[in-house]
A and B are shown apart, each in its own frame.
Chain A
Amino acid sequence: MNDTTTINAKEEALLARFEEKVQNGDAIEPRDWMPEKYRKHLIRQISQHAHSEVIGMQPEGNWVTRAPSLRAKQILLAKIQDEGGHGLYLYSACETLGISREEMIEQLQSGKAKYSNIFNYQTLNWADIGAVGWLVDGAAIVNQVSLQRTSYAPYSRAMVRICKEESFHQRQGYEIMAEMAKGTPEQSEMAQDALNRWWWPSLMMFGPHDGDSPRSADAFRWKIKRQTNDELRQKFIDKTVQQAEVIGLTIPDPDLKWNEEKQCYDYGKINWEEFNQVINGNGPCNKQRIDHHKRVHTEGAWVREAAEAYRLKTQNN
C-alpha cells in the first residue's frame, strides 16, 4: 500500500464518519473534521449572512436622522444596532471555519461574496422602515428559524440568539405599518406604497424555486439547509397575508388566493428576470451599497492603523 492510498483510505473513513454524524442529527463543532466542500459551503453562506446584516444597516440608517419621533428614532437605532451585532456574531461564527474578517470584507468589496439582494432596494419614505421590519425581518425569521437546526453548531447557536431579536424587529416594523395605515390619508398612502414596493422583493429573498436552485443537494444532505426555498416562501406568505388584512393593506398580487384544498395561499408569478438582474448588479442600489461600504472602510483606515500602531507601541513597553 502506498502513501496516497493510505491517505485516501483515511480520508474516506473520516468522511464516512462525518456523514454518519450528520445523518444522526449530531452537531458539527469547529474542531471536528469536515469535508472541504462543507466548509466552503458554510463560509459562503455564513459570510453572506453576515454581510447582509451589515449592508442592511444602510437602507435603514437612511432614516435614522429623520425618524419622526424620539421613540421612533430610539427603536430604529436600537434595531440597526442589533443588526450590526448580528453581523459581528456571524463574522465570528464564520471565523471558526478558518477565514478572517478582513478576508470576508475583501470578498464583499470585490463582489466575490454576496449579501442579500433585498438591500439593493431603496427606503423612500418612513413607511419603508415599517415595511423592512415587517417583511424583510419577517422573511429572515422564517429562514432563520429553520436554520436554528442547521448542522454546524456555531451557526446554529448564532441563529438561536439572532432569531429572538429578529422577531422583535418584525413586530416593531409591523407596528409602524399599522400606525401609518390608520393614520392620515398621506400616511396610509405611504404604507400601501411601501408594501407595493417591498412585497415582491421580500418573496425573492427565499431564492429561486426549488427546481432552479443550484447547490441545494449537498446543503440538504449535510443538513445545512433544512427546508426548501418554496416551503419557506409559502410559510412567509401564509403568515403575512393575514397580517396585511388586519391593518387594511392590500398585497400587490391580483393572483393571491386562498387554496382550500392545499390549505395555503396561491400566489402570482415572481419576476425572476428582475431577480436575476438585481443579483447581477443591476438593482437600484447595488453600486451605492458597495461604494458606501468601500468609502467608509477607506475613510476609517487611518483610525484602524492608529489603533494597531498604538497597540504595538504599548505592547513593547
Chain B
Amino acid sequence: MTQQEALFQYTLRLGDTSLIHAQRLSEWCSNGPILEEDLALTNFALDFIGRSQVLLTYAGALEGKGRTDDMLAYRRNERQYFNCLLAELPNGDFGVTMVRLLFLAAFEKELFTALQNSEDETLAALAKKTLKEVRYHLEHAADWVIRLGNGTEESHARVQKAVNELWMFTGDMFDMDETDKLLIAADIAVDLSTIKTKWDNYISGVLEAANLQQPTSSYMQSGSKNAIHTEYLGHLLGEMQYLQLAYPYAKW
C-alpha cells in the first residue's frame, strides 16, 4: 500500500461515517418528538452531508480515477463502504439516536482535535473547520442524554437500554489497521489509542451525570475497517441509491 492509497482509504472512512450518519439522521425529518428537535436533527444531517461532500471529493481526487463525491456515495455497495458500525445502526427511539450521536460526536471531537495537526493540509483544514459543529453536536447529545437519564422513569429506562445496546459497537470506532499505521508514521493520521482514554473519561462523566450505568460487558463488535457491516447497511444503501441504480444514465 502506498501512502496515497492509504490516505484515500482513510479519507473514505471519515467521509463514509459522515454520510451514513447523515442518512440516518435525515430519517428523523418530520418524525421528531417536537418540531424544534426535528429541525435540530435535520440541521446535524446537513452538517454531516456537507462534511461528507468535502471528504468524498477529496477521496476521489486522491484516488485519481475521476470519481466524484456522488459516484463514491451512490455507486459503491456495502462491501465497499467503510463507515464505522455505529453510524449505520437504525435510529431506534429518540434515546437511541441521541446516545449514538453522543458516542460518535465524542469520538469525532477527539479525532478532529488531533487531526488539526495532521501533516495532510486538507485534512487538517477540514478538522479545524469541523470542530465547531462537532462541539455543538456533542453538547446537544450530552445535554439530551443527561435530561433523559434524569427525566422520568420511562426516559431513564429507555436511555439506559440505548446505552446498553449501542455499547458493543463503540470499540469498532477505535480499531486500527495497516492504513492507520502507515499514516500515523507519516504524522497524517491520528493514533486512535491515544484518544481512547479521553473518550472513555468523557463518556463516563456524561453517563454519571445522566445517572446511567456504564455497561461492563467487554465484547466489542468490529469489522468496519474491512467493510464488514451489520445487516442494516445494505438496506440503507438500497434506499439511498435507488434512483441512481434504477436510472444509471440519468443526471440529476
Interface on A for B, CB 8 Å cutoff? 54, 57-58, 61, 64-74, 77-78, 80-81, 84-85, 87-88, 91, 126, 179-180, 183-184, 186-187, 292, 296, 299-307, 309-310, 313
The total number of A-B Cβ pairs within 8 Å is 134
Smallest distance from the beta carbon of A180 to chain B beta carbons, Å?
8
Interface SS, B side: helix
Contact A296 B70, CB 8 Å, known A70-B52, A183-B250: no
| B160 contacts A by Cβ under 8 Å | no
Interface on B for A, CB 8 Å cutoff? 19, 22-23, 26-27, 29-39, 42-43, 45-46, 49-50, 52-53, 56, 69-70, 73-74, 93-95, 146-148, 150-152, 154-155, 158, 239-240, 242-244, 247, 249-252
- What residues of chain A lie closer than 8 Å to B94, measured between beta carbons? 300, 303
Interface SS, A side: helix
Contact between chains at A313 and B34 (CB < 8 Å) = no
Across the interface, name the chain A residue whose C-beta is closest to B151: A306
Complex A-B: 27 CB contacts under 8 Å: A65-B239, A66-B240, A66-B242, A68-B74, A68-B244, A70-B19, A71-B70, A73-B22, A73-B26, A77-B26, A84-B35, A88-B35, A179-B252, A183-B250, A187-B250, A292-B30, A296-B31, A300-B37, A302-B152, A303-B33, A303-B37, A304-B33, A305-B151, A307-B151, A309-B151, A309-B152, A310-B150
- Partner pick for A310 among B36, B147, B243, B247, CB 8 A cutoff: B147
Contact between chains at B240 and A65 (CB < 8 Å) = yes
Contact A70 B39, CB 8 Å, known A292-B30, A310-B150: no
Smallest distance from the beta carbon of B44 to chain A beta carbons, Å?
10
Smallest distance from the beta carbon of B215 to chain A beta carbons, Å?
21
The 7 residue pairs across chains A and B that have the minimum distance between CB atoms: A300-B33, A306-B151, A306-B155, A303-B33, A68-B252, A68-B243, A61-B30
Which of A65, A78, A91 has the most B CB atoms < 10 Å from its CB?
A: A65
Which of A180, A301, A309 has the most B CB atoms < 10 Å from its CB?
A: A309
Smallest distance from the beta carbon of A136 to chain B beta carbons, Å?
16
A186 to B246, CA, bound (A): 11
Smallest distance from the beta carbon of B101 to chain A beta carbons, Å?
14
- What residues of chain A lie closer than 8 Å to B251, measured between beta carbons? 179, 183
A88 to B42, CA, bound (A): 15
- What residues of chain A lie closer than 8 Å to B38, measured between beta carbons? 57, 84
Across the interface, name the chain A residue whose C-beta is closest to B52: A70
Smallest distance from the beta carbon of A231 to chain B beta carbons, Å?
33
A64 to B23, CA, bound (A): 9
- What residues of chain A lie closer than 8 Å to B23, measured between beta carbons? 65
- What residues of chain B lie closer than 8 Å to A74, measured between beta carbons? 46, 49-50, 53
